[in-house]
Structure 1
């Protein structure tokens, strides 16, 4: 397999030739870190085996896209040939290379930086090793099997970073100039602030939002920085083999029931996760909403579900005002419309570019102009 040509093309498509990340992108054999992956097709996960189809393997591995390596508790490496999964959420992946590099750039990594990164497939760890040398890189994951797989593949390409099985929300195995997490958290773990060296920087995303936080440690043991102007979303941290069950019981109630309040929405039906700024603002306002959708030709139905039993269902055709049903202690669609009112009135939402102040216990304050929010 002529993977080097494909890796150089990926590097050229992702960064400029003079970038310090060009060399790592051009020389790390990504296909070795993802020999098998899960492809989402028609509502089910279908196993893809690289060695059995080298052309598809090289095209997938050297494209700027995420490859899901684990669904629920089942890693693609451990699945039976031609396996399919009809339910479940991704629990590990090889993040698209462009986004990995973007997170590293937000970290402003220096040549002498000691960095902590998250493991996943090991590909992002390999990029950091090629950029800094493997002795400056520590890679952690909560899953021992993932750490073992990634560690073996890193060794196979001559890289030997420090690896550890570790819950990233708890105590970390050292002190670092940079902590870069490609899993999302809420709130920022206090242990990160303890593990950051003076002046160190953390970069992460806030769970269930598109918000990238880049913040530098301050003398009081907290951190200060900004929400990046670009957006990203990662899987949330987990402590078990799989994520807890979703809000299926609330969904079954909301699926067709008459709401306590029924009305006509002002704006066309929006599947909120498609709009990064609206999604992030709504999550900050009402944390924990789960979103679902169905599309039938030009008719769309979306559901907003909350752990407290609140739900909203909106159904409409194309740009027509939707019929909205709401029930429970909170009126979720009303809150969404307040955010959309603000977007239309002001032409933007304040969340991206906001100032960030993280207290030593991890409580995170966002502020831009008169707007503010707290994540704890």
Structure 2
């Protein structure tokens, strides 16, 4: 779908280019488009198709949605892609015939999708994943036996990227189906750490159903299944599961269990460098973010604990955008509970600037923006625009 030439996309690109201190030639080179094309787009003489817009956004280091004139364009595009995801999921055991790229090319494609997921670039995922999932399903059936485990692991990672879109955009039934297929595929990878990553993602179904006690039990079983070795990847897998268990224990109102799992996560985090392991960020910084998450999960009586955990600290830019955005969303809730509406609004805006698609679809952003509007205790005009952007009601 092309972006209309007269909707202001060009002006937004020119504005972002000037902020980045790039000439038109430099941006065109970085985006791998012709200089004449960029000039026409910036002055509104032609539109920018999806591929061109994404290339320009990547060169500018921004999410494509910030270049669009209407923030709901991202939601429209993702929702339009949901039927394609459902269709490919329905045929996961019997995919249509078609081409299959080399294992190296498939690995590159899946890594790119994972990068988009960690960066909360859901529009890109929704456009690319249906075809990639179908291709990986074909590969699982036709590759030599010795490569099946590798392909199964790639398929789990790709399904996880698709699930991120479904879950964030409220397609919970589709999300649950994606997770069940991940659970079907993961044993074929013959890697217990792949199973651990699926158990981490499966917690979404327990959150959605508010089955927090059952979710905690499932995570504790998953921790026990991770090999008790000193390998960095295994330590990170256990640590990530403990982080997740701490949050869901908080939602279950089990403060002692939440504290225990958080302490175990912290101890493991101190033993590994902050990085992304099997698709999940883990390390000292991620654990610190989860200290805030756990306090918020325990409720408003723990707001001060969340504020203390966040005091004087901000997530480093090396962390995935989705995780950094989530930190500010949860911090905003604690600030709102503590009677600090201006700080809460500032945190919500920070979350949006880091990962707009993630913040816009987060239910807490909508709820807290609506609460701030009712309180009328912060910048009314800016808050009105923000509330309209995230569809806050009330």
TM-score normalized by structure 2? Answer: 0.27
Q: Which has the higher helix share?
A: 2
Q: Which has the higher strand share?
A: 1
TM-score normalized by structure 1? Answer: 0.27
